[in-house]
Structures are given as C-alpha cells and as structure tokens.
Amino acid sequence: MYEILKKEMLTPTICRMKLSAPRLAAAARPGQFLIVRADEKGERIPLTISDYDAQAGTVTIVTQKIGASSADIIAYEEGEAFADVVGPLGLPSEFVEMAPEKLAGQRYILIAGGVGTAPVYPQAKWLKEHGIPVDVIIGAKTRDLLIYVEEMRGVCDNLFICTDDGSEGFKGMGTHMLEHVVSEGHQYTQAVIIGPMIMMKFTTLTCRKLGIPATVSLNTLMVDGTGMCGACRVSVGGKTRFACVEGPEFDGYEVDFDEAMRRQGQYKAEEAEANEKHVCKIGRGK
C-alpha cells in the first residue's frame, strides 16, 4: 500500500498529493510518469510526477477531477493509501541525458497548460539546478485554475502567466503569450509543451512558426504502461510509437495530434456510462 502523506486542493477540482513510494522516488527523473490504481476495482491511471524526493521516499502527483476514476483518486484523504503506485514510467526528458557541452548552449521555454503545469515543475527545477536558462509560461482558462505559480517562480528565470479571460497576467492563450514573449526579444533553443492535447497541437504550430524546436509530452490512454498493451500508440513522423516506453515526450513537429486526440476518446462511450453509474466514494468509511 502507498500512503498519502499530504493532500491539498490546489483548485476546487485539482488536487495535490504526496505519496510514500520509496523505490519510485529514488528512480524518478523529470519527464517520467507513474500509474496509480486506487483500489482493487479501480483503473490503472497514468499521472504525471510533479515532484520527487529520493531521501524522503516520496513522490508528488497532481490530479484533476475528470471522470469516475480521477474522482476516486481525489476522494482519498491523508493517512489513507492507494493499492498500487508504480513507476517511474517512460523515458526521462531529453535534457536529463544530454551531453553537458550540448546542454550548456540551450535556452529553454517551458509552456504549461492547465494541470500540465505540475509536470513542468520538476523539469524547470532540474534545469535551474543545472544552471541552464529556463523561462516558463503558465496558461489557464481563468485565475482560479492557475496552479504552481509560486513554486514555479522559484525555479525559473522568467515566469509568464496568461489566462484566457485576462483575470490574471496576460490576456490570451499560451500561444499568444509565447509570440508576445518572443516579440519582446526573448530567444529560445528549445520549447517543452505540456498540457491538453489540443493546446499542445496549437502551441507546437506556434513554435514551428517561430522556429523553435518543440517537445511535447503525450498523455495517451494506457493500461500497463510498460509497452504491453499498445493502447498508447501514436503516429510520430509517420511511424507508430508507444508513448509509454518510447515517450511520453516526442518531437511535436512530428506528432499526428488529430489521431492522438481521436484515440484519446476511444472509451468515451464506456466512460460516460460508468460516470452515470458511478457511486462517489467520499466517506466510504474504510
């Protein structure tokens, strides 16, 4: 069992949990993810790792309530435990294993959308710790949905905030923010984009327009997360790749986002049915 050591609601629907998972914490690197199965009857849910502490043996996850399964995860309280937490899964971000001399010349812009802000944090933190210039854009629909603003400020050189409705920071989407930042003279050798599939698609287009190479982190469907099921397959540069073991990060220019979005919705009908039948487990009195 994997105990929840700390739980806090970052917004009414986004929850941050610190879990005890010593083996996982010791092995985690930026860019990797994990899988949680809340209880015996739960799904295996892939979630991004938003922080890890090898010494304390903890990992932090950030979950947004979307369907029945994510609602179940959020319903857990401090002191309770998940049946299963496994990882780290996927490959670490490219910069983690980059030769130092190549890394030294890089200037990163990390672009986060919504709950995708959480996995951007360990990437910014790693780059900052290694002395690599890194700026961050956080975009959200509205001010109340912004997360990780203070945490991020501590791990990047420049933090740019934008909201669709202008309730905080720049008014507009991440794509507009990026164009604005670049027009002000900021220069980048590499962008990393993490957020909803549609946001990654359009931000990649903007990066292409601006001539910035773009890495995206794909949150595809998965069952095992170890290369066994193939539910996560995506077309990258015309080739089928497994996001769980060959990703989750790919060259955004090469990703077939339309196919990826369509495949993400593969179990929508079944999920809608499950949501209807779903009995909320809050106060399930274990």
Partner 1 sequence: MPNKIPRVPVREQDPLVRAKNFEEVCYGYNAEEAQLEASRCLHCKNPRCVGACPVSIKIPEFIGKVLAGDFRGAAGVIAEDSSLPAVCGRVCPQESQCEGSCILGIKGEPVAIGKLERFVADWSHANGGSGAAVPAPNGHKVAVVGSGPAGLACASDLAKWGYSVTIFEALHKAGGVLEYGIPEFRLPKEKVLAKELEEVKRLGVKIETNVIIGRTVTIDELMDKEGFEAVFIGSGAGLPKFMGIPGENLNGVFSANEFLTRNNLMKAFREDYLTPIHAGKKVCVVGGGNVAMDAARTALRLGAEVHVVYRRTEVELPARVEEVHHAKEEGIVFDMLTNPVEVLGDEKGWVRALKCVRMQLGEPDESGRRSPVAIPGSEFEIPTETVIMALGTSPNPLISKTTAGLDVTRRGCLVADETGATTRRGVFAGGDAVTGAATVILAMGAGRTAAKAIDEYIKK
Q: How far is the CB of 84 from partner 1 (least distance, A)?
A: 4
Contact residues for partner 1, defined by CB under 8 A: 23-24, 27, 37, 41-44, 68-69, 72, 83-89, 223-224, 226-231, 233-235, 240, 245, 259, 262-263, 265-267, 269-271, 274, 277
Nearest by Cα to 138 from 161, 170, 154, 172:
161
Q: How far is the CB of 160 from partner 1 (least distance, A)?
A: 34
Nearer to partner 1, 87 or 114 (CB): 87
Q: Report DSSP state, residue 255.
A: B
The residues that bridge with 85 in the sheet, in sequence order, are 36
Rounded Cα–Cα distance for residues 163 and 210 (Å): 21
Nearest by Cα to 218 from 206, 205, 203, 200:
200
Nearer to partner 1, 167 or 264 (CB): 264
Q: How far is the CB of 78 from partner 1 (least distance, A)?
A: 21
> Angle, to 10 degrees, between the axis of helix 257-264 and the axis of helix 197-210?
170
Nearer to partner 1, 88 or 195 (CB): 88
The identity of residue 226, as a single letter, is: T
Nearer to partner 1, 175 or 219 (CB): 219
Nearer to partner 1, 67 or 213 (CB): 67
Q: How far is the CB of 75 from partner 1 (least distance, A)?
A: 13
Q: How far is the CB of 89 from partner 1 (least distance, A)?
A: 6
Rounded Cα–Cα distance for residues 142 and 243 (Å): 30
> Angle, to 10 degrees, between the axis of helix 174-183 and the axis of helix 197-210?
20
